[in-house]
Amino acid sequence: MQNQLFIQNSLTRKKELFKPISEPNVGMYVCGPTVYSDVHLGNVRTFLSFDIVFRYLKFIGYKVRYVRNITDVGHLVGDGDEGEDKIAKKAKLDNIEPMEVVQKYTNGFHSVMRLFNIQDPSIEPSATGHIMEQIEMIQEIIKNGFAYESNGSVYFDVKKYNATHDYGTLSGRNIEDLISNTRELDGQSEKRDSLDFALWKKADPHHLMRWNSPWSVGFPGWHLECSVMSTKYLGEKFDIHGGGMDLKFPHHECEIAQNVGSNGKSPVNYWIHGNMLTVNGKKMSKSEDNGFTPEELVTGNHKLLEKGYSPMTVRFFMLQSHYGSTLDFSNEALQAAEKGYKKLVNALKTLKKLKPSENSSVHVTELKNKCYAAMNDDFNTPILISHLFEGVKIINSIHDGSASINDENLIGLNKLMDEFTYDVLGFTTESSSSDGNVLDGLMELVIDLRKQSREDKNWSVSDKIRDQLAQLNIKINDSKEGSTWNHEE
């Protein structure tokens, strides 16, 4: 039961039982960032969605090799085959080396991933580190007749490929519609057809990032790196490929064509696409200027933000929606998430203090099964969170004495709540930051002093503690099992 994982497969448009190629190993590739600017919260959402996939696969016992690349060459402004390289453009603007741009924003990306407790992949290869392999794949595609050289550049021949294969298999687009939607070539173009896409581009004299190849001094096309690096580290066929919905076409469609064009195999069994974070219904993006960086989010220093929110609040906000649905940013939703997350954290603290009784009105197995079922249903984190809140209710009713729990169920409840909150959903106790540890330690001390003063009937001290804590909106909850505290804003 716990291993019956179903995944919404973008390739078949069906929810399918997950069966890895070589159990218990799972190979997963996710398109990483193009490192020419700070990541925004929309990018974070996609990487968080796949963090959940990675965590849950490991949680249910798979050995996962997770490859997430760094795009550091070939992604052109406008996402097509013309124009400047995004990284080189930024390098010119800042008057630094392209590789300085790459380093700076790769470092930034990593610190943002850490901020949100998003786990590192097993391998993080970069496009510039795989130029030789990209040249070799282009040679294979040319040999198989699906690509042609033109004026030092090499293009994938989409119509020729489509004659024997299905270009559009992933995105569901058909080639006639694609033809009618593309511009006519102006006669100056190196391409035979407007649908063709670049595998190698000859560098013009101003182009900063360039390598030798059999065709010209130039640079690889954007889509090629992912075909090459996934094949190199996961094999010609692997289990899962992920990325944001906006990459489905053309990026992922081209990836499939390149793999089939070079080795005859459609590379991926399960394609997973994460949906977009939007602002007032519009995709958050660098070009729309409606994005804010995670730092701005934490400090609240942005026109869209009423205040700052902690990274775990944001994580909670995002996981309250399914990865396959769009999620609209709003201050109200973040404030609700802040409250919800605190409630969960407080209940987890209370849980640690509960003592078992002889009898149990609470049984944990059913709740546990529901938690697994939610995640097995295409990683349904919002449903999982609603089950964890059933757990919160149970904890609070044991705490206030209206329910009881025996030893075995208490152990089970602890395990269940901890595993799904921390291992699967990847929350950290924010008190694990140094500030939080100090605060928790201080509060424990204050609670002890209060207890001592009450036992000593030193009412002036105990009243003073109570009143001053009340002024700070800190409430102490007393029960048979001891005292807990929470901070209400």
Packing angle of the helix pair 86-94, 98-115 (nearest 10 deg): 110
Strand partners, 34: 71
Q: Please report how close the Cβ of residue 75 comes to ligand AMP at its closest, in angstroms.
A: 7
Rounded to a whole number of angstroms, the minimum distance from the CB of residue 184 to ligand AMP is 29
Q: Quote the CA–CA distance of 121 and 64 in Å, as a whole number.
A: 9
Asked whether the beta carbons of 74 and 85 are under 8 A apart, the reply is yes
234 touching Zn ion, by CB under 5 A: no
| Residues in contact with 46: Cβ distance below 8 Å, sequence separation at least 6, in sequence order | 243, 244, 274
Q: Please identify which residue in 11, 135, 268, 277 interacts with ligand AMP, judged by CB under 6 A.
A: 277
Instruction: Say which entry of Zn ion, ligand AMP, none residue 391 contacts (CB below 5 to 8 A, set by partner kind).
Output: none
Task: Pick between residue 120 and residue 423 the one whose CB is nearest to ligand AMP.
Answer: 120
CA distance 70 to 35: 7
Residues 6+ apart with CB under 8 A from 59: 419, 423, 424
d(CA 459, CA 5): 58
Stretch that binds Zn ion, among 95-103, 218-226, 297-305, 474-482 (CB under 5 A): 218-226
Single-letter amino acid, residue 277: L
Nearer to ligand AMP, 129 or 152 (CB): 129
User: Exposed, middle or buried, 189 (CB in 10 Å: 0-12/13-18/19+)?
Assistant: middle
Q: How far is CA 98 from CA 111, 130, 153, 207, in A?
A: 20, 17, 22, 11
| Interaction partner, residue 46 (ligand AMP, Zn ion, none; CB < 5-8 Å by kind) | ligand AMP
Look at residue 34 and give the partner it binds from Zn ion, ligand AMP, none, a contact being a CB closer than 5 to 8 Å depending on partner kind: ligand AMP
Binding at 384: pick from Zn ion, ligand AMP, none (beta carbon under 5-8 Å per type): none
Using CB distances below 5 to 8 A depending on partner kind, what does residue 45 bind out of ligand AMP, Zn ion, none?
A: ligand AMP
Residues 8, 9, 34, 216: which binds ligand AMP (CB under 6 A)?
34
Main-chain phi, psi angles of 15, to 5 degrees: -85, 120
Rounded to whole angstroms, how far apart are CA atoms 248 and 172?
A: 10
Say which amino acid occupies 152. Answer: G
Nearest partner of 85 among 36, 148, 30, 31, judged by Cα = 36
> Which residue's CB is nearer to ligand AMP, number 52 or number 354?
52
Helix axes 311-319, 41-59, angle to 10 degrees: 70
- Is position 247 an interface residue for ligand AMP (rule: CB under 6 A)? yes
244 makes contact, choosing from ligand AMP, Zn ion, none, with CB < 5 to 8 Å by partner type, with: ligand AMP
CA distances from 162 to 13, 157, 172 (A): 21, 9, 13
The smaller minimum CB distance to ligand AMP, of residues 27 and 244, is found at 244
226 binds Zn ion (CB under 5 A): yes
Q: Which is nearer to Zn ion, 94 or 236 (CB)?
A: 236
Q: Which residues contact 394 (CB under 8 A, 6 or more apart)?
A: 362, 367, 403, 405, 413
Q: Which one of residues 28, 31, 447, 469 is an interface residue with Zn ion (CB under 5 A)?
A: 31
Residues forming beta bridges with residue 455, ordered by sequence position: none
- For ligand AMP, the binding residues in 280-299 under the rule CB under 6 A are 283-285
- 288 versus 306: smaller Cβ distance to ligand AMP: 288
Which residue, 32 or 426, is less far from Zn ion as judged by CB? 32
Comparing every residue's Cβ against ligand AMP, the nearest one is 244
Residue 328 binds ligand AMP, judged by CB under 6 A: no
Select 57 or 276, whichever has its Cβ closest to ligand AMP. Answer: 276
Residue 244 lies near ligand AMP (rule: CB under 6 A): yes
What is the smallest separation between the CB atom of 36 and ligand AMP, expressed in angstroms?
8
Binding ligand AMP by CB under 6 A: which of 16, 84, 140, 246? 246
- Residue 122 carries which side chain, given as an amino acid letter? S
Q: Hey, which residues between 36 and 55 contact ligand AMP (CB under 6 A)?
A: 42-43, 45-46
For residues 432 and 436, give the distance between their C-alpha atoms in angstroms, rounded to a whole number.
6
Does 87 interact with ligand AMP (rule: CB under 6 A)? no
Omega within 30 of 0 (cis) for the link into 24: yes
Task: Tell me if 318 sits within 8 A of 42, measured CB to CB.
Answer: no
121 binds, among Zn ion, ligand AMP, none (CB under 5 to 8 A by kind): none
Taking the CA atoms of residue 352, residue 345, residue 451 and residue 442 in that order, the dihedral angle to the nearest 10 degrees is: 110
Residue 283, contacted partner among Zn ion, ligand AMP, none, CB below 5-8 A by kind: ligand AMP
Minimum Å gap between C-beta 374 and Zn ion is 29
# of chain residues touching ligand AMP (CB under 6 A): 16
257 binds Zn ion (CB under 5 A): no
148 DSSP β-pair partners: 155
Nearer to ligand AMP, 275 or 376 (CB): 275
Q: How far is the CB of 458 from ligand AMP (least distance, A)?
A: 57
User: Applying CB under 5 A, which residues contact Zn ion?
Assistant: 31, 226
User: Applying CB under 6 A, which residues contact ligand AMP?
Assistant: 31, 33-34, 42-43, 45-46, 243-244, 246-247, 276-277, 283-285
